[in-house]
Structure 1
């Protein structure tokens, strides 16, 4: 096994068995994606190495065969590795602050770009930036959605550009690919995620935001669907959930107006 493959496997194993803060989980996902993309050409800073080994455990004896140059490897001193980032609360605060700054910057860039376009190209008639209309109107109607306006988190979850949380697609439940309960769920979860990417790749997409099935006054908070919004996604006129269910990659999951039954997870027996 190549060193980068071994490290990627250790990260995935940690994601399955560990309980992390949002910052730690996103950090591990970013490191895994970087290893997948660059393989043996992956380069990490000394700080990133130290943080990675702090989360997943000390490096094995053959860690010197890392997928990057020797100059970027973390110092061998345990004291250096534990001196910084002592407080999980401080890490989480820095992570949330960075996300807020990034989201604010994207929104500001869109507004400035719209103003420039309006006054130079359209003769002074101000228009909204090119972003999903439900981000402005509250999402009570079907709106067209471009593939470049969101990323796919899992077989039943997407994240709109600039959104702090994902959007849970309702009416079905897909197996988990990030925190599966068994190997068969992990494999099926990856297939469901890949299939969703295929469905939206070239299709005409429409999204409708709907109320989540939560007690009144909790939507938008962690007490309701982990802070995620809820929606329906259609590709070429078909609900993507119906397609995944019909292909055995998801199961039907219908909630009431303020609560849901136990989440169906039949993949581990």
Structure 2
């Protein structure tokens, strides 16, 4: 049995929460279902069927706000963290300790929704950054969680996959497969694309770890959380919605997955390379 039941959420750091929330509400075609502010960080959560995207921005003064501003000044907005979900955080902590991920203490967390004062609670720990190839990795056991906002067929319904760039595919195999215990579905070098692909499944989505075969790499360099591919029911309607909103989008084209169609979103993503996908060509 897998330690992880899914990917609870992905963290995207942005300079200012109101602007970031407006950007992603327009992109995803849905409003955030949770907004909060505490300890120097403002957050907005967009929950879909199989995960959530958490926007995080500095809020006021303090160490956390200052650190977020430093990261944004250095790297710009972008994806920074993966938070996996488990049903048994104590056992997961024990096993990841034995697997050398040096997890920190299990702590309690709580958030209050600004809209209605509702509360959600969780337990979590963070793996050692030295062991996770430059990606901040958390493990979380929620007591309560927001439910996805009902949205139209032109809105994002789920996350198809997240793309992670790695200079060291063997390290990635060890981290995501052997140590975190995700389900390795594919390890293949595709010469036509100059890429080695590693696909890991968890909770109805894929972590697509890619290694560029035609580039020079320093094996000790960090991995990079790179891009997101969002699922929509009606790809043509989503394309029309984003076109009307003035975003720079490609034409709809046949996807690499059999029976899929995709288009690229070139702006309005806070710098995150983004695809929209439907698994029925329309």
Taking structure 2 as the reference length, the TM-score comes to 0.24
Q: Which has the higher contact order (CA 8 A, sep 6+)?
A: 2
Taking structure 1 as the reference length, the TM-score comes to 0.25
More helix by share: 1
